[in-house]
Structure 1
Amino acid sequence: MAPQRFHEQFEHIRRSLPDVPLTMGPDESAGYFYEKGVVLVRDGEEARFVEDAVRTHFTETRGLVPDHVRRLGPQAGRTGVTRIRVGDPDGAEDTVPHALRAVRGAEDRRGRRLAGRNHVVHIAVNACPGDEPVPVARTEPANPGAAEDSYDPATAVGVLVVDTGLVHDHRSYPLLAHTTGDAQLTETDDDGVLHQYVGHGTFIAGVLAAVAPNTDITVRGTLNDAGAVLESEFGALLFEAVDRDGWPDIISLSAGTPSPDADGLIGLDGFLRELRDQRTLLVAAAGNNGSDTPFWPAAYAALPEYADCVLSVGALRADGASGACFTNHGPWVRVHAPGERLTSALTGFTTPVPYVYQHSTYDSCRFGADYPCTCRYPRHTGVLSEGRESTGGKPDQVMFDGLAQWSGTSFATPVAAGLVAARMSAYRERDPRAAAAGLLAAAGERAEVRGAQVPALRPPTWRPVAAVVPAVPA
């Protein structure tokens, strides 16, 4: 059942990237999206080698003409990567798996991966959402609530949120009064209905500001385009985000892609190498696939050379006792924080705005959990699921009037980032990596996630939330 929402989102993301032929893999389990007929390589000698090796293999064994294998465009600046076409992208067959096999022997001899898929990197509530936002009355408090620390521009911790942009009236929400950054490009459609995932970056900033009020938060709309971008472009966009204002203390990133590759994403090699040489801490979401497949860049936290500069974050369920049904898990996830049914700002407070649900809820948890999770409650029927046997009916519409309740590792991430920033303020710690290490060392709390006891961070102002399960008619 779990891939259903993934397939629904595939169509949504494909429409947002109309000029890119996309496919999904590795099989019907639909673990990730990637560019069809193209592999990603490091520019220079490795690109020449891969191009020649794949061309020779394909012309000898698959009958392709030599021009079907060629480099596409110049080196992408500091990222140092380029794309190689390895077949006809309009053809029925995806040739990427064959191309990767053609260079596998050389990779074994050289001791490093030479080519990889050009994944679609997406916000971590996008390709496999934890859920969609639920309206919350203005009288409801934020959860996590605002910590007692006050904002001091002279000592504030600098946090960069790389996500969707800020909604136009975000400053109407008191916790975001001094948050700056990019505006959301388009908030509503022609009928005045919120686009899917509008407010994602605003919600994250609100969570972060609640946990750590003494922060200068900048939100960059790097993922405004339906929250999805090709891996080949993502590294350059991250460089652009940090170059605008300088490397911050903390980057909160609720985006990535699953990949079984054990050494990360070729498209992020350049950015991660520069990150390693800075003092910045990258706090990254573990993803919402309910899987132990590494989700990158969060999974860089498990690689020794990046262990001190990347903190990967999974999500606890609403009662905080164990992992949320949707959270990715495994030894590469360093810590878990509340990420189910959090409350923060989706819009400002100036004008109520309608939203139409894109996905339907399920009769049972799509990941097999036995608690009242967000897969099932609150009930709604979505546009992308219309016509499916298990749902049917008209899609449900709600009105947002400021606050929302939302779930995903996307939102556990700013909880963890906020706790690191709060520790920096409390201990006057200037090194965010040392603050993260100190936070983890001092965290004696644990939670049960898929049978394992794992480190857990629960902010003092966070309140456990009970799911409201509708009564069954007699």
Structure 2
Amino acid sequence: MFDQEARLERLLARHTDAAVVEPVAGRPTVVRRDQILVAPVDAPIVEDRVRRWYDSVHDEDGVRLLRLRPRARVDVCELSSRLSGDGRHRRLAVSPNTLVYGQPMWWSGPADRPRPTDPVPAPSAALPPRRDVTVAVLDTGLSPHPWYETADWYREQRDEAAEVLDADLDFELDAQAGHGTFIAGVVLQHAPSARIRARRVLGGDGVGDELAVLRALSGLRRCGPVDVLNLSLGCFTFDDRPSPVLARAIAALGRGTVVVACAGNAAGDRPFWPAALKPVVAVAALDGEDRAWFSNYGWWVDACAPGVDVASCHLRFDGRRPPANGVDPDAFEGYATWSGTSFAAPAVAGMIAGAAASEDLTAVAAADRILDPVKCRTLPDLGVVVGT
């Protein structure tokens, strides 16, 4: 565990345009100051209503970003609530630009770093796949690894999806560098023939924002069909309701795409987004037969899978921390173990993709079979048990 107050201070120091908001005591989140996001269809109405406050408007690949004048001192949460509608039925798709986080870490939850481990056998399929399957991974990107570096799908996106390992140049691996690589490896362990389509939406510190996710979703739609989308990231929102802008963007992927997201690591039942969206498969983490102590849970969780000491491919990196008891804690040789709901989610995504590829099923049909609560064991507030 790391001191969470110190982690929050470091986050705010690194992201100087971010601010903690807590409209309801004990339910904080972090947003970009003076930024609101609007679905393009609603942009003309919103721009007219906030004309006196906004400084500039930017079309950002499927979403409109309004930058408000700092001197106006506008509360972006209150403004978004008023614009979208104070009642249960929202009339306009407007939201603050909320920060999202990869989930071994979140500043109010547990902090877990990857640990070097011995090589993990490369994934291999017992039989040739009956159809091609594409799994999109929106995360920190991908680093070269023997498991996939000769694959055509990796060569096609190697440069644009490359991970940033040490953004602050302190000669230490950034807190979540390798997160995307690790997740791709978990997917491939369950679906060795899957084509990974990676998009970098998180920095090496594991922090991104809703705007980056929306851009990536828009880009995915232009690049052709996606069978399964894995989102090992998320956030709490200021009002504990889903961002209507993000909800529309995920719905726009179409009913043929299965979206899987981690349930988050705050050890509570507060809805974590986008996992808690109705069309999304929310995945909690198990430790053996029980819920991992850090895992979120609740009525909105659909499935659970192992999420403690998961082993997968990782980076090659030797940091400056000295060995302790004969073990070098930051000398990675391409493999690691890591804990978090971040790594339970791609296990479920990979199982769905693997079943679709090996049995020539649609991703939706494969998900229905793997997540069938009638035929599979379930746990209260954790959903269907997968992969144990």
Q: For the superposition of Structure 1 and Structure 2, which TM-score range results when normalised by the shorter chain?
A: 0.7 to 0.9
Q: CA offset at residue 33 of structure 1?
A: 0.8
Identity, in percent, stands at: 26
- Counterparts of 2:186 and 2:78, CA distance in 1: 44
Q: How does 1:74-473 map to 2 (within 5 A)?
A: 74-79=58-63, 81-83=64-66, 85=68, 88=71, 95-99=75-79, 107-108=86-87, 111-112=90-91, 115-128=94-107, 129=110, 131-138=112-119, 141=120, 146=123, 148-150=125-127, 152=129, 155-168=131-144, 170-171=145-146, 174=147, 178=151, 180=154, 181-182=157-158, 183-188=161-166, 190=169, 192-224=171-203, 226-243=205-222, 245-259=223-237, 261=239, 263-275=241-253, 277-300=254-277, 302=278, 306=279, 310-317=280-287, 319=288, 321-348=289-316, 353-354=318-319, 397-429=329-361, 431-441=362-372, 443-447=375-379, 452=381, 454-458=383-387
Q: CA offset at residue 215 of structure 1?
A: 1.4
Q: CA offset at residue 156 of structure 1?
A: 3.1
How many residue pairs were aligned? 374
- Name the residue aligned to 2:46: 47
Contact kept, 8 Å, 1:23 with 1:35, in 2: the verdict is no
Q: CA offset at residue 251 of structure 1?
A: 1.1
Q: CA offset at residue 25 of structure 1?
A: 2.8
Which ranges of 4 or more aligned residues in structure 1 deviate by more than 6 Å?
none
Change (3 A) 1:166 1:356: farther
Match of 2:10 among 12, 21, 29: 12
- Counterparts of 1:201 and 1:194, CA distance in 2: 14
Q: Which amino acid aligns with 1:118?
A: N
Which structure's CA Rg is the greater one?
1
Contact kept, 8 Å, 1:176 with 1:206, in 2: the verdict is no
Q: Which amino acid aligns with 1:163?
A: D
- Counterparts of 1:294 and 1:75, CA distance in 2: 29
- Give per-residue Cα distances to partners, 1:15-51, cap 9 Å, x unaligned: 4434x24224346636321123444444435414642
Contact kept, 8 Å, 1:130 with 1:408, in 2: the verdict is no
Q: Which amino acid aligns with 1:410?
A: S
Question: 1:197 is paired with a residue of what secondary structure?
Answer: coil
Contact kept, 8 Å, 1:347 with 1:400, in 2: the verdict is yes
TM-score of the two chains, using structure 2 as the length reference: 0.82
Q: CA offset at residue 70 of structure 1?
A: 2.2
- Name the residue aligned to 1:369: none
Is the counterpart of residue 70 in structure 1 residue 43 in structure 2? no
Q: For structure 1, which runs of at least 5 residues remain unmatched after alignment?
A: 53-66, 358-378, 381-395, 460-474
Change (3 A) 1:269 1:148: closer
With 112-121 and 420-429 compared, the bigger mean Cα shift is at: 112-121
Contact kept, 8 Å, 1:164 with 1:220, in 2: the verdict is yes
Contact kept, 8 Å, 2:304 with 2:384, in 1: the verdict is yes
- Name the residue aligned to 1:463: none
Q: CA offset at residue 273 of structure 1?
A: 3.1
Change (3 A) 1:177 1:12: farther
